[in-house]
Amino acid sequence: MILLKMRIKRSSTGGSTHYDYPVPFYDAYKVIFGPYYESGLEEVAKEVRDRADDDEFIIIGVDEDDAPNFLKANGHKDGEGFEFSCVELSQAEMEELGSKWTKQQEKITDNEKVTRILAKSARGVALTQEEKDALDPEKSEVGINLTKHFKTELSEAISAHNAKKGKK
């Protein structure tokens, strides 16, 4: 997998954000990891929106065979003169950016189970240790869990891609 950082065009209309990608070089169907946006976290999004430029960066992973076409976007200008960029990153560089642009979040992984446990608790019935663990995002019990850390997601994606390609 080739790891890339791309500069894309960002605009806002009516309170929503719109992104323009360097067509024909960017093909969303060929992105196998990401995209992760620079403004992925609210605390970073304000900083990105407040700068004068009409751009944003994304990080993605693509197959080795597709990377040359993505990299052709580097220096490409659209009809309005916006200049896109695309550069290859090392895994360490990708991990650094991904760790700045994302964070682990609590996620309900079994809605029915969580609802049953909360209803039981609301009735004043004592919870088992397994039920308490299901409500604790730090525990591995299915219920409420933390999303994976960016570095873990990246490492797993690279390993899966390499396995698919028959690489170590």
- The tens digit of pLDDT for each residue in 82-110 reads 899 999 999 999 999 999 899 888 889 99
DSSP characters over 64-99: TTTHHHHHTTTT-B-TT-PBPEEEEE-HHHHHHHHH
Q: What is the pTM of this model?
A: 0.80
Taking all residues of the chain, what is their mean pLDDT, rounded to a whole number? 90
User: 């070089």: which residue's tokens?
Assistant: 25
**Per-domain boundaries in the chain:** 2-102, 106-145
Q: Is the pLDDT of residue 52 over 70?
A: no
Of these ranges, 11-20, 40-49, 112-121, the one predicted with the greatest mean pLDDT is: 112-121
User: 């992104």: which residue's tokens?
Assistant: 19
Phi/psi at 60 (nearest 5 deg)? -145, 165
pLDDT score recorded for residue 123: 95
Write out pLDDT tens, residues 22-41.
Answer: 989 999 999 999 999 988 77
Q: Is the pLDDT of residue 154 over 90?
A: yes
